[in-house]
Amino acid sequence: MFQLSEHTAQEIVDKMMQDIPYNINIMNDQGVIIGSGNRRRVGTIHQGAVKALATGTMIEVWADGRNEKQGTNEPIVIDNNRVGVIGITGNPDEVRPFCNLVRTTVSLLIEQGTALKNLHNEAERKKAFLEVLLNHHGVYTQKLQKEASAYQIDLHLKTTILYIKDMDLELDKSKLMLLYPCFLIEEGTYILMIQNQTNMDHLVQSLLRNHQQGCIAIGNLESNIGRGYQQAKSTMQVVKALDLSSRAITYEEVAFLVQLSEMQPLDKTNVISKLEDIPDMLETLQCFINHDCSVSLTADELNIHRNTLQYRLKRIHERTGKNPRNVLQLFELTHNLLSFYK
């Protein structure tokens, strides 16, 4: 059950008393004052609040007594639970409307806080479930199958993973969630689990049309979701490593490069790291590879003179010890690129 903190209660009191010319007290579910215009009363028992909590009704005090003052005390009820009391000091006929106003404000804040907490808890549950699912090997347990069904995932069906990078799916998410299980991996990165293959191409093309930036890596149709996820993720790493121009690429298209990336370079220090501090060197190497070592096409793509490109290729050779104009050494550089982005 949500509980107001003393800090929040006091903030509400201070703000409301700027507009209401009466002292306000907020009590917790034990009748203890946790926020008050009279700070000396914080931490003490409010007798009117105790009665209001016990009866579930507004308690009005018409005369000051030894342990209570004239005013109204109304329970705060959330989901049929009495979570606190609003008290306002003054003639009940005068302060009653203000009491209702403050109670409504506090109730809304509590409900908002509860909703946010529930969303956070659900997000944490979803994150934990996804981690288990993506790392699971072998036969799925009944428990995991049941959890998966809550996210519209049928673990009896084969699944294709779409690994989506640098796209903001928040605008599409509500629509996508009705059709496909969708999970946020990190900001701008999502995975979709596709179990209806007839709509795959249409979905991919729709995503590309709706988002001018970003790309999609597509795993194989697999009975194990974790395996399909690793395929799609590794495919995306190849795309980023070589700066491939395709915005939608399948694991099958780069399977050899994925396997190559999993081999450790012979040198402990990846030579690609020697290019990080030289402007445009990584981009030049990636572009040179993508244009099949064509000097003219690479220079045009980079919008530089051929001589500038030749100079950059020479610098890459000097820094890495590998000549990008030599096919075997370029293959080594490609391997190092793939490993660097792994």
Q: Domain 142-261 belongs to what topology?
A: Alpha-Beta Plaits (3.30.70)
Cα–Cα distance list, 69 to 18, 44, 73, 83, 139 (Å): 21, 14, 10, 22, 67
DSSP 8-state class, residue 152? T
- Binned at pLDDT 50, 70 and 90, residue 83 comes out as confident
Task: State yes or no: pLDDT of 8 exceeds 70.
Answer: yes
pTM of the entire structure? 0.67
Question: Per residue in 128-151, pLDDT tens?
Answer: 999 999 999 889 999 999 999 999
Q: Domain 271-340 belongs to what topology?
A: Arc Repressor Mutant, subunit A (1.10.10)
Domain ranges within the chain, ordered by starting residue: 6-116, 142-261, 271-340
**Host H or E run for residue 35:** strand 33-36
Report the chain's mean pLDDT, rounded to a whole number: 88
Task: State yes or no: pLDDT of 65 exceeds 90.
Answer: no
Task: State yes or no: pLDDT of 255 exceeds 90.
Answer: yes
Q: Domain 6-116 belongs to what topology?
A: Beta-Lactamase (3.30.450)
**Maximum separation of any 2 CA atoms in the chain, in Å:** 97
Q: How far apart are the first and last CA of the chain?
A: 45
